[in-house]
Amino acid sequence: MKWSKRGKHRLLQGAEGVTAVEFAIILPFFLLLVCGIMDFGQIYYQLHTVNEASREGARRAATGGTSQEVTTAVQKFGSQLQTPPYMNPTTPVPGQPVTVTVTRSVQIITPIISAFFPSNPYTVTGKSVMQVEK
């Protein structure tokens, strides 16, 4: 079958409109995917940060640090803490475990993603337990 130049031109004119419609259909899903990846990445990053901060605080408490020294060690990982680090017991006893808990809030920016979380901002918590050295 032989196509004339005029026939091909008519077929290509309709393709431009189809491409625009397909793009308009796919764009919201693509943006949701990208924003969701950014939100979950931010939550994961903050979770990693509070875990590292609690580990550093527990290490400081396990080596005989005071409550103020533990707070200073935890704040090296950022000053956006929801509350000061919680240390239990507040006066570490040699040979016994000490627990340091750190919490931080993460703001979820995508409205549809935030519907899946019970609260916005979402609170991430890091907890570390170490035995106090003698």
Which amino acid appears at position 85 of this protein?
A: P
Task: Check pLDDT > 80 for residue 68.
Answer: yes
Q: Where are the domains of the chain?
A: 5-131
Of 110, 96, 101, the residue nearest 41 (C-alpha) = 110
Determine the Cα–Cα distance for residues 103 and 56; give it in Å rounded to an integer.
14
Task: Check pLDDT > 60 for residue 11.
Answer: no
Whether 134 and 94 have beta carbons less than 8 Å apart is answered as yes
Alpha-carbon torsion (52, 86, 124, 128), positive or negative: positive
Q: Each residue of 75-110: pLDDT tens digit?
A: 887 766 767 888 888 888 888 999 999 999 888 888
Q: Which two tokens stand for residue 131?
A: 């035995």
Determine the Cα–Cα distance for residues 1 and 108; give it in Å rounded to an integer.
58
Determine the Cα–Cα distance for residues 52 and 128; give it in Å rounded to an integer.
9
